[in-house]
Amino acid sequence: MKKVIVITGTPGSGKTTIAIALSKRLNKSKLISVNQVVKEKRLFSSYSKDGARIVKLNGLKKELEKRIAASKGTVILDGHLLCELRISGATAIVIREHLSTLKSRLLKRGYSIGKVRDNIVSEAIDYCGEKARQNYPNTFEVLSGKDATISILRIIKGKRTENRDFDMLSELPNLIKKDKRFAIE
């Protein structure tokens, strides 16, 4: 039976790094990057004020399902938009990250303060986790870092069935206290 693993989470949480590591550990796996599919198939209608693509989610879902059907073995999908979709039969893994680490990564990528703030708030309130739980019956949260791939392998093999709840919201006041640019206006 084909396994489909959805790796989702806030931008900068470590999804792609973890998805690549996971794909190397799993024999006969296929890694599909949502961002690459969107670019390759031009599955966006326009750009937002901050330069982000406005993605055609229905078109993206159809294209992903087509690629999954054509694949053999385990399929790993990587992208933050996956929490917004419902991929039939998939297990969702939401990658979580501490807010200060997320802030550093996004600033290094050149994100605007507003975009960093939006993503920090999304991570704090677990937006991707909440959306994933609505769309996928099997949803797990994993903290980014060196043990993330091992945790995901345990989930895939059915050796981990409990789900941890990561409280990033409690980190928000401290982050704002240290850097007033991230106060919500």
Evaluate if residue 185 carries a pLDDT over 80.
no
Evaluate if residue 139 carries a pLDDT over 80.
yes
Q: Given its phi and psi angles, is residue 94 left (phi above 0), alpha (psi -120 to 50 degrees) or beta?
A: beta
Q: Taking the C-alpha atoms of 97, 121, 82 and 130 in order, what is their torsion angle to the nearest 10 degrees?
A: 90
* Domain range for 67: 4-182
What is the reported pTM? 0.93
The pLDDT value recorded for residue 98 is 97
Evaluate if residue 137 carries a pLDDT over 80.
yes
CATH (domain of 176): 3.40.50.300
| Sequence-ordered list of residues with C-beta below 8 angstroms from that of 52, at least 6 positions apart, any chain | 115
The pLDDT value recorded for residue 25 is 93
Mean pLDDT of the chain: 92
Lowest mean pLDDT among 63-72, 98-107, 176-185: 176-185
- The number of distinct structural domains making up the chain is 1
**51-87, pLDDT tens digit by residue?**
788 889 999 999 999 999 999 889 999 999 999 999 9
Q: Kindly state the average pLDDT of the residues 3-25.
A: 96
- Residue percentage of the chain with pLDDT more than 90: 76
